[in-house]
Amino acid sequence: MKISKIKTMAAFTAAAMLLGGCGDAPYTLTESEEDIIVNYAAHVVAKFNTEQGHGLKYVNMDAEEEIEPAAETQDDTETPVSDTDAAVLPDGAAAGEVAAQTASLNDIFGTDSISVSYEGASLTPGYVENSYYAVDADEGKTFLVLTFAITNNGTEDAEFDNLVKMPSFGIETADGVKASSELSVLLEDFAAYQGTIPAGESRNAVLLFQIPDTAADTPEFTLSVMMGGTSYQIAL
């Protein structure tokens, strides 16, 4: 609505008050008197207009400007993130995890008297423990076997208990193959190894990972472990 229309309405209001009497002939206004009445009426309309926040306001008689509409209110409501938009975490990774820490086997599993070392890796379609327990890889798979030595460097027997720590191991090969360590009942399973290591002696333990049997040689890989809510990349 233009201001000129407001003036016209105000003029009609004023004219109704002045010309609505009982006389036979209407009262004739001069142009200056009409301007005074219209200006006053426009002031009154502006004063009692609930959409106007500043009360009585001067109205320019010659103004023909458009009244600017109120700015649209922006919707600040945040769009929820769907499950499909959520970041996909790697196997064993905790929500909110920034990056895996790099640490040695001794940093993670060693004690004052016991050291842990990496002894090497090999490929085999089946693993045999002490000639009485055997486990075979799935069809199309082969085992990547990692061997570790647990050594008691002290002068007294020492307990080594990985089962209570509940570590979860994973590998990623150079060509992008990922695998988690096999759950087994092997007494030599490093992830669940429990035992007493005599002073000055070592015990071997292993981790088994199934990878495609197309690997002709032992592949390059990185080893990681999740333990106590923290992810480590193990420096071998």
Place of tokens 């032992």: 218
Place of tokens 């923290």: 230
pLDDT for position 82:
43
Which of 68, 91, 115 marks a domain boundary? 68
Query: What is the C-alpha to C-alpha distance for residues 234 and 102, in angstroms, rounded to an integer?
Result: 6
Q: Please, what sign has the CA dihedral across residues 49, 51, 55, 57?
A: negative
Which of 68, 84, 119 marks a domain boundary? 68
169: CATH: 2.60.40
Q: How many domains does the chain have?
A: 2
pLDDT for position 15:
52
**Does 215 fall in a domain?**
yes
pLDDT for position 164:
94
DSSP 163: G
| 121, 225: one domain | yes
- Start-end of H helices in 20-119: 31-47, 105-109
**Does 185 fall in a domain?**
yes
| 107, 216: one domain | yes
Query: What is the C-alpha to C-alpha distance for residues 124 and 66, in angstroms, rounded to an integer?
Result: 85
What is the three-state SS of 5-24? HHHHHHHHHHHHHHHCCCCC
Query: What is the C-alpha to C-alpha distance for residues 160 and 188, in angstroms, rounded to an integer?
Result: 12
For residue 154, with 0-12 CB atoms within 10 Å meaning exposed, 13-18 middle and 19 or more buried, which class applies?
A: middle
Cα 151 from chain centroid (whole Å)? 42
| 134, 218: one domain | yes
Query: What is the C-alpha to C-alpha distance for residues 88 and 85, in angstroms, rounded to an integer?
Result: 9
| 157, 48: one domain | no
Per-residue model confidence as pLDDT tens digits over 35-92 = 666 665 555 454 445 444 444 444 454 544 555 555 555 555 554 544 434 333 444 4
Residue type, 147: T
| 33, 123: one domain | no
Query: Higher confidence at residue 225 or residue 84?
Result: 225
How does strand 168-173 pair with strand 178-180? antiparallel
Please compute, for residue 130, the number of CA atoms within 13 A of its CA located in the half-sphere on the CB side: 6
pLDDT band at 30 (very low <50, low <70, confident <90, very high): confident
Is residue 123 within 8 Å of 162, Cβ to Cβ? no
Q: Would you state the structure tokens that stand for residue 212, as one six-digit string? A: 């495609």
**Does 171 fall in a domain?**
yes
| 105, 184: one domain | yes
**Does 77 fall in a domain?**
no
Domain hosting residue 220, numbered range: 101-235
Q: Would you state the structure tokens that stand for residue 185, as one six-digit string? A: 């009942």
| 208, 108: one domain | yes
Q: Would you state the structure tokens that stand for residue 114, as one six-digit string? A: 């016991």
**Does 221 fall in a domain?**
yes
Per-residue model confidence as pLDDT tens digits over 16-27 = 554 554 455 455
Residue type, 46: A
Per-residue model confidence as pLDDT tens digits over 101-156 = 999 999 999 999 999 999 999 999 999 998 888 999 999 999 999 999 999 999 99
| 112, 221: one domain | yes
C-alpha angle 192/161/143, rounded to 5°?
A: 25
pLDDT for position 130:
85
3-state secondary structure of 72: coil
Which of 15, 50, 68 marks a domain boundary? 68
**Does 120 fall in a domain?**
yes
